Structure 1
């Protein structure tokens, strides 16, 4: 089994920082263009623009642990900055599963990278899944942080059964498109 070396960890740190920055860009784009639904669309927008960085990590450091660490940078962020208590779990579990699919399975390469990237992209659903599945606990946590009901109502404004399915389906679609775009950029600038 190939293990991560110090040089790998340094590279992973750089790629994790770039990934964090792409998520930040996706968040800002959604916040200023789709005010009501912006938080529900951050995972899909991130999937759309993070394909290149995922391909770099998967191809340049093809060892178990690299994808997990890159995705887990968001778990650390969600945990450190007081997001809903369970928000960090998907940001660790989905990258771990994606890492397993990418490095430990014998699926055909093209299918494997697509499947692993789609799974990885669901890592950013941690902050939004409780909006549907733990509504009361989420409201209590917001109130405990001193938020008023006006703010709470604004958080839940776009939350419905339909928005759940739309946001999850969009993650699948945009991860496919984002990886295709990423492959073009990767092949042109990073493959050599």
Structure 2
């Protein structure tokens, strides 16, 4: 049953699951010391966060919860030194994911998978400076991590790589969602999700 208004329990769930998601995002960030994983970071996040996100969806019955999570994740990213772009993509992807789940009345597994695919794209916002401010971004990377690392990473940043990254993140999100559903099967049965 869909609720019309957010209540305190909803906001607590958003807070808890946002914290879990962000901790897993930080863990995935440690792979960023390897140039290819600096680019494939959203895939790793989508795989790792599938389990907590689909558990969050079993508790989501009110429009706005997913949007709030997206905005909070974007704000956390910004607060820890990423660009403001992740706030915008957090809002946009969170809102679209919320609309998708609402269309499935928070009970449709197919809608939840698509919701997670769309939601998982928010993290690409924190990576956009690699493409839209390439020169200044890689000057900073050279200063912080050296010429060799910056050169390896810069060779991966092409226009087609951004498109490929968006597609591969969606694929990783599908895998992460199904992994989450497998691990959390009893929660899906209890929530009546089909």
- Please classify the TM superposition score into its range, dividing by the shorter chain length: 0.7 to 0.9
Contact 1:20 1:73 (C-alpha < 8 Å) held by counterparts: no
Q: What is residue 16 of structure 2 aligned with on the other side? A: 14
1:165 has 2:163 as partner: yes
Native 8 Å contact 1:4 1:65 kept in 2: yes
| 2:112 is equivalent to residue 113 of structure 1 | yes
**1:75–1:91: 8 Å Cα contact kept in structure 2?**
yes
Separation in 2 of the partners of 1:53 and 1:166? 25
User: In the TM superposition, what whole-angstrom CA distance separates every residue of 1:147-180 from its partner, at most 9, and x where no partner exists?
Assistant: 6984765652421234323322210111111111
The equivalent residue for 1:31 is: 32
Check if 1:43 corresponds to 2:42. yes
Gaps of at least 5 residues in structure 1 are none
1:55-74 correspondence to structure 2 within 5 Å: 55-74=54-73
Q: How many residues align?
A: 186
**CA–CA separation in structure 2 for the residues paired with 1:159 and 1:57:** 33
Distance 2:22 2:188 in 1: 20
Which sections of structure 2, spanning at least 5 residues, go unmatched? Answer: none
- Displacement of 1:126 in angstroms is 0.8
